[in-house]
Amino acid sequence: MTRNLFPVLSLLLGTLFLFLGNGLHGLLLPVRGSFEGYSNEVLGLLGTSWAAGFVLGCFIAPKLVMRVGHVRAFSCFIAIIAIISLITGLVVEQYSWVALRTLTGFCTAGTSMIIESWLNERASNESRGSIFSFYISVTLFGVVGGQMMVAFGNIHTPTLFMICGILYCLAMLPTTMSNAASPQPLKSVKLDLPKLYRNSPVSFVGILLIGIANGAYGTLVAVFGARVGLPDVMIASMLSVTIFAGAAAQFPAGRLSDHTDRRYVLAGIGSVALVAALLLLVLRPQTAVFLIPLVALYGAAANSLYPIAVAHANDFADSGDFVKVSGGLLLLFGIGTIIGPTIGGPVMTWFGPYALFGVTATAHALLVAYAIFRSRLRPTLTSEEKENFSTGHGPVSTMMATPQSATLDPRAERMDISGEEPANKEA
């Protein structure tokens, strides 16, 4: 394990600093914005604009990297993110923040894709699995660690914004100082959404609904906490518990989906997320002893749905379409994360902060109903016909995967990761 990771330790260290900054800045803005009296609609737009920028970056960043090279593009993206984090601490103005978050999302997509391309270049077929798993773990702990910094800092001063800038600058050093040759060009997103829907309607619709629920929760749960008067440490804990519970539940949920119809698993786990959201909506807990367990249950269910839906889509995809399917699902998830906060903000204004869970409950109810409906129209695949489940290849909370990360998935080593149709493939 150590021997496999040694060639990429500097890149993983840079990744850790990058996602520490992302976690801190992503939580700091809505918490500070709530204190400044920004409306729920504007705070929701912080997440909407970031997701829109991220999706746009997945399409445009590969072209920019091709023109100027990996190192220059990476340095440029990181520098812009660092500058933005400092500006948001100096210029506390809601619409400026929304515009700057769009640019942050764009640059985050670019930096993530470049790091993933370097990791993929260093990974052999034997080490790809361990590197992929460790990379996901680093991003997970980075986001959670950054969020917890909010609990131990003062949101009312520029200090935490300055720490964001420092973390982003530290993320630049390991990669820019590397003497490794530039990797292959980044993978552009190749889309065939009609074919994706024909192959797997449940995954197509399900990923969109999962994006709506996860986008609304990930962006607005900090606003919810501030509106009901929770301390900063409780708000950070809610987000961290959601992520860790989702990560812990992915493996057992995935193993279950390998041995039964994934649509039933989606419906079952979606029902758990639905029930947890309804309990939060009806009971309105405010103490840690009741709130944290319900949030953990919700996170375990809600964050287990994406990888199962991806696995279901790949069950019916051609072997050479792995990256193309990932790109299409990424776009659908991104659209969902744009819709979720856009709807969630006004709903919270009209019906109160707990109405956030009404938005997520509605999305999960539609997912459950559609999965059950489709299970009656197409026969169940046998275990031998299924693609093996792989944990960690989907977004956790609002953290999104890039098309480049598909090439790091261990399954990509036996597929045509260029995304082109394989030659002479029979229908």
Please check whether residues 15 and 157 belong to one and the same domain: yes
- For residue 377, CA distances in Å to 78, 172, 194, 308, 366 come to 48, 51, 19, 19, 17
User: Which residue, among 108, 113, 116, has the nearest Cα to 53 in the 3D structure?
Assistant: 108
Q: Is residue 425 part of a domain?
A: no
SS3 396: strand
Classify burial at 137, counting beta carbons within 10 Å of its beta carbon; exposed 0-12, middle 13-18, buried 19 or more.
middle
pLDDT, residue 21, reads 95
Instruction: Tell me if 36 sits within 8 A of 94, measured CB to CB.
Output: yes
- Claim to verify: residue 10 and residue 116 sit in the same structural domain: yes
Q: 373 with 272, same domain?
A: yes
Domain that holds residue 167: 1-183
Residues 176 and 202 in one domain: no
Q: Residue 325 corresponds to which tokens in the numbers above?
A: 């399917």
Q: DSSP state, 205?
A: H
Residue 17 inside a domain? The answer is yes
**Which residues make Cβ contacts (< 8 Å) with residue 297, sequence separation at least 6?**
245, 272, 276
Same-domain pairing of 197 and 178:
no
Give exposure, 385-403, as e/b (b: 16+ Cβ within 10 Å): ebbebbbbbbbbbbbbbbb
Tell me: do 18 and 149 sit in the same domain.
yes
Residue 243 lies in a domain: yes
- What's the confidence (pLDDT) of residue 398? 43
Residue 43 corresponds to which tokens in the numbers above? 């705070």
Angle at 160 (CA atoms; ends 158, 162), nearest 5 degrees: 70
| Helix count and strand count (H, E) for the chain | 15, 0
Contact between 114 and 11 under an 8 Å Cβ cutoff? The reply is no
Last residue of a domain, one of 138, 158, 183: 183
DSSP 1-53: -HHHHGGGHHHHHHHHHHHHHHHHHHHHHHHHHHHTT--HHHHHHHHHHHHHH
Taking the C-alpha atoms of residue 102 and residue 50, their distance in angstroms, rounded to an integer, is 5
- Residue 388 pLDDT: 54
Q: Is the full-model pTM beyond 0.75? A: yes
In a domain, 9, yes or no: yes
Number of domains in the chain: 2
Q: Which residues pair with 399 in a beta bridge?
A: 396
Is 166 in the same domain as 265?
A: no
Calculate the CA 416 to chain-centre distance: 25
> Residues 201, 292: one domain?
yes
The dihedrals phi and psi of 154, each to the nearest 5 degrees, come to -105, 110
50, 163: one domain: yes
What is the rounded distance in angstroms from the CA atom of residue 202 to the CA atom of residue 197?
A: 8
For residues 231 and 355, membership in a common domain is answered with yes
423 within a domain of the structure (yes/no): no
Question: What is residue 59's three-state secondary structure?
Answer: helix
Locate 271 and state its tokens.
């029902």
For residue 47, is it within any domain?
A: yes
Q: Of 141, 164, 183, which residue constitutes the final position of a domain?
A: 183
CATH number of the domain encompassing residue 208: 1.20.1250.20
Question: What pLDDT, in 10s, does the model give residues 90-110?
Answer: 999 999 999 999 999 999 988
Whether residues 124 and 263 fall in one domain: no
Residue 416 domain-assigned?
no
In a domain, 418, yes or no: no
The pLDDT, as a whole number, for residue 394 is: 44
Q: What is the pLDDT along the chain (427 residues), one digit of tens a residue?
A: 566 566 677 888 888 999 999 999 999 999 999 999 999 999 999 999 999 998 898 888 888 888 888 888 889 999 999 999 999 999 999 999 999 999 999 999 888 888 877 777 776 656 665 676 678 778 888 998 999 999 888 999 999 999 999 999 999 888 777 665 666 666 665 667 888 888 889 999 999 999 999 999 999 999 999 999 999 889 999 988 998 898 888 778 888 887 888 899 999 999 999 999 999 999 999 898 999 999 999 999 998 898 888 888 877 777 666 667 777 887 888 899 999 999 999 999 999 999 999 999 999 999 999 999 988 876 565 555 445 545 444 444 445 566 666 655 555 555 444 444 433 333 3
pLDDT digits (tens, 9 = 90+) for 290-322: 999 999 999 999 988 988 888 888 777 776 666
Question: Do residues 341 and 206 make contact, with C-beta atoms less than 8 angstroms apart?
Answer: no
Is the domain of 141 the same as that of 3? yes
The domain boundary, picked from 127, 161, 183, lies at 183
